[in-house]
């Protein structure tokens, strides 16, 4: 009954969003970040041996999501515990090398800056029910994990990953600012019995409900993950091609007890094992785990040479020639300094970019600042050994030293574990603690007076965010340029669209900025000619020797 009342209250708040507040002029009530018009599920081949429409436990009626979860757990007895032990639930990864606490519950990013303190909004992408923001402010309250664990495994949201009807959606678990509270306005009520009976292995849109919209909108964070991958054609992704191989995400990100291979916190930049037996490995999501260490057939000199690249060049470097190719733009620059502008005291937005699929994208929002987008972008290339290096909320830096790498990485030509990888590089100007020279948590989401998305007051939002995180704050903020790097590994083009040799092996090619190694065609023209002469001489020698053998054999036959 309490949950039902909460839902009714939430619906009432949405309706009330059309009525301006009396005391403080509200921001414009159209700051939504995720508009999903196509809710029809993608087709997915299923090898399931169960028809869930026939299970009496799933006939309903169900009052809410947790009621469905209880029915799921009646058969899948261990699933809840497995999910609660996964990164999808904990939002935490402990770096085994440094012991640093990573994951969304700790890190600062250069998009919406931090999930910590804004879980009421960010938890739309947490596979749970029952988030109660008011239970934990400060060290005396419940810890993060306790909040989501409170109760039992029935708090696991099975449907967000397994609904195959397209009729399920998540709403913010807490009340937010008016500018954001209309995101699900007009959505049809969820028929929990119908979605419970539709469950199956996740389709691309199940994973994409969160991962396509990382950073605050479609394709914003990752240049290779956006809603165009729901029904891609072969040119966009040869593996996910809806009329071809039609891979779901889990075809590569193989699951083992609800833990998926391919975490960005533990990247395999160079797979030296290749395929596993009986044909599929569960520990990585690398190209080599399916295609092996010699992915090209050794039936020509050119393909033998391509296989010779595998130890120093990631497959993605050649086979993902450009990012954001599906008609959805990715964000490349974000400037928080312009956030908070109003027109007659009311927030607004501008949309001066029309992306390939015809949709206009917001280039300014009062709640976030200014944005720049791009499509069909050439990636940023660098040597990468799989080790990401994070600037955490505790890291002190010197802003005079240039841009702060939010998630830098290591790798060099001299490192045998490194290969040349493609990245999306994101540039942002965001707030920092000017006195302590650290990044900051900002309190963005909430119906309280401290939330930036209601008051447009950086100082107040930062102070509240740092206090709620139990972190020191000097009281003085400034803005600093930051960079983040995102390895590109989706949107794999078919082989005929892969990079040609001269894209890299030329003086002004894609790898012109990479140093400390010799690249034929780019470096030392004389050395290239000497090499070609040696190869030509060797071929002439082999040919001449063969002719002499033939001539000698004919001579012996005539005698």
Burial 207-231 (b: 16+ CB within 10 A, else e): bbbbbbbbbbbbbbbbbbbbbbbbb
Pick the residue with more confidence: 4 or 167? 167
pLDDT at 116: 84
373 — phi, psi (to 5°)? -120, 165
What are the counts of helices (DSSP H) followed by strands (DSSP E) for the chain? Answer: 15, 16
Q: Which of the four pLDDT bands, split at 50, 70 and 90, describes residue 185?
A: low
Q: What is the pLDDT of residues 334-381, one digit of tens each?
A: 999 999 999 988 889 999 999 999 999 999 999 999 999 999 999 999
In residues, how long is the chain? 559
430 — phi, psi (to 5°)? -135, 165
Q: What is the pLDDT of residues 237-284, one digit of tens each?
A: 999 999 999 999 998 998 889 988 888 888 889 998 888 766 567 677
User: Does the pLDDT at position 406 exceed 90?
Assistant: yes
pLDDT at 154: 83
Using only the alpha carbons of the chain, give its radius of gyration.
Answer: 27
**DSSP per residue over 514-528, as a string?**
--SS--TTTS-HHHH
pLDDT at 390: 94
DSSP character for 540?
H
The Cβ of residue 367 has, within 10 Å, a number of other Cβ atoms equal to 24
User: Does the pLDDT at position 15 exceed 70?
Assistant: no
The pTM for the full model equals 0.85
**Residues with Cβ < 8 Å from 457, sequence gap 6 or more?**
340
How high does pLDDT run on average in the chain?
86
Q: Which of the four pLDDT bands, split at 50, 70 and 90, describes residue 442?
A: very high
DSSP character for 425?
E
Q: Which of 176-180, 210-214, 216-220, 546-550 has the lowest mean pLDDT?
A: 176-180
d(CA 256, CA 260): 6
d(CA 79, CA 393): 33
Pick the residue with more confidence: 237 or 447? 237
Share of the chain above pLDDT 70, in %: 86
d(CA 3, CA 1): 5
């Amino acid at each position: 009954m309490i949950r039902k009342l909460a839902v009714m209250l939430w619906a009432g708040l949405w309706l009330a969003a059309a009525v301006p507040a009396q005391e403080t002029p509200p921001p414009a009530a159209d700051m939504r970040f995720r508009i999903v018009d196509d809710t029809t599920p993608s087709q997915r081949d299923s090898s399931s041996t169960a028809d869930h429409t026939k299970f009496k436990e799933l006939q309903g009626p169900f009052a809410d999501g947790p009621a469905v979860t209880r029915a799921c757990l009646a058969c899948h007895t261990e699933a809840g515990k497995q999910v609660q032990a996964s990164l999808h639930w904990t939002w935490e990864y402990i770096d085994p090398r440094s012991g640093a606490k990573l994951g969304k519950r700790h890190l600062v990013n250069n998009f919406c800056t931090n999930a910590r303190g804004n879980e009421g909004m960010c938890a739309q992408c947490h596979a749970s029910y029952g988030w109660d923001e008011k239970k934990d402010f400060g060290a005396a309250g419940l810890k993060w994990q306790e909040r989501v664990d409170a109760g039992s495994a029935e708090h696991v949201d099975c449907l967000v990953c397994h609904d195959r009807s397209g009729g399920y959606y998540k709403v913010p678990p807490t009340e937010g600012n008016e500018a954001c509270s209309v995101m699900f306005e007009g959505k049809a009520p969820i028929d929990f019995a119908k979605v419970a009976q539709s469950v199956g292995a996740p389709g691309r849109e199940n994973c994409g409900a969160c991962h396509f919209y990382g950073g605050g909108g479609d394709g914003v964070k990752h240049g290779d993950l956006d809603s165009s991958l729901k029904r891609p054609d072969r040119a966009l992704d040869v593996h996910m091609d809806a009329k071809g191989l039609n891979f779901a995400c889990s075809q590569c990100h193989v699951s083992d007890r609800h833990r998926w291979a391919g975490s960005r916190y533990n990247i395999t930049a160079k797979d030296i094992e290749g395929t596993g037996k009986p044909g599929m490995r569960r520990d990585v999501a690398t190209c080599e785990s399916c295609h092996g260490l010699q992915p090209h057939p050794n039936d020509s000199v050119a393909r033998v040479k391509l296989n010779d690249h595998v130890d120093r060049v990631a497959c993605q470097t050649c086979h993902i020639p450009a990012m954001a190719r599906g008609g959805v733009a990715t964000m490349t620059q974000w400037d928080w300094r312009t956030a908070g502008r109003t027109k007659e005291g009311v927030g607004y937005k501008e949309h001066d970019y029309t992306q390939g699929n015809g949709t206009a994208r917001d280039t300014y929002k009062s709640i976030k600042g200014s944005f720049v987008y791009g499509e069909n972008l050439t990636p940023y290339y660098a040597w990468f050994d799989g080790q990401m290096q994070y600037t955490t909320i505790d890291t002190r830096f010197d802003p005079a030293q240039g841009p702060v790498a939010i998630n830098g990485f290591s790798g060099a030509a001299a490192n045998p574990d490194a290969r040349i990888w493609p990245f999306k590089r994101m540039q942002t100007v965001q707030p920092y603690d000017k006195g302590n020279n650290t990044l900051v948590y900002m309190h963005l989401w909430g119906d309280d007076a401290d939330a930036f998305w209601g008051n447009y007051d950086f100082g107040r939002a930062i102070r509240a965010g740092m206090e709620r995180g139990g972190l020191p704050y000097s009281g003085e903020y400034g803005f600093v340029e930051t960079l983040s790097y995102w390895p590109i590994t989706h949107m794999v083009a078919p082989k005929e669209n892969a990079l040609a040799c001269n894209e890299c092996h030329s003086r002004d090619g894609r790898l012109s900025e990479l140093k400390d190694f010799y690249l034929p065609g780019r470096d030392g023209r004389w050395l290239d000619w000497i090499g070609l002469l040696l190869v030509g001489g060797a071929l002439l020698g082999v040919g001449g020797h063969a002719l002499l053998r033939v001539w000698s054999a004919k001579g012996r036959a005539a005698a």
